[in-house]
Amino acid sequence: MISIEQMAIVLDTLPDPAFILSRSGKYIAVFGGRDARYYHSSDGLVGLRITDIVENEKADWFLEQIELALDSGQLLIKEYELNSLDINIESIDGAKHSLWFEGRIQRLDFLVDGEAVVLWVASNISERHELEIKLRTLSDTDQLTGLFNRRKLERDLALHYEAFERYAVPASILMFDLITLKK
């Protein structure tokens, strides 16, 4: 059996940051994720609220995810982006470019200061995200012309049609026959 001191060392050396967050978005504890190449600094977060740290729209999204995890009791997995523009306080530094994360959010079966809490583990998936964008670009464009291909057209048409049916958003289709330009 390991001691409490050894457990603290284990938690602090976790490769990905693990946050214990309250229902109201208060940082109760932060463990691991110290590599500045992959993560923004989490020093000084304990005691602050998400709304103190990130801009309002992003903070609302985080609070919504916490609420979903608490209500469902199930593991919630979400992908999200964070960049230096999202962060409101100067003491949080680290990567100045956008970072993409996979958040794994799980309700914990205890209260802290009378409030329900979740464990939020944030894994940096920026490299995978970049590769997915490149793959999507390659699959959606013609190699010779660099123009979007039929697959992209069909997907976009389906999305626009869905928006039209759901929200009555008008859409137009304009088609050109470019075969005659080859002569």
What's the pLDDT at 91? 46
Which mean pLDDT values do the consecutive 10-residue runs of the chain (183 residues) have?
91 92 97 81 88 92 97 96 75 63 97 97 92 89 83 88 88 73 55
Q: What is the DSSP letter of 54?
A: B
Does the reported pTM lie above 0.85? no
CA distance 21 to 118: 5
Question: Which two three-digit tokens encode residue 20?
Answer: 């214990």
Q: How far are the Cα atoms of 101, 160, 166 from residue 65, in angstroms, in the given order?
A: 14, 27, 25
Q: Is 166 helix (H, G, I), strand (E, B) or coil?
A: helix
Q: What is the pLDDT of residue 102?
A: 96
pLDDT, position 90? 58
With a CB cutoff of 8 Å and minimum separation 6, the contacts of 122 are 16, 17, 18, 19, 33, 39, 101, 102, 103
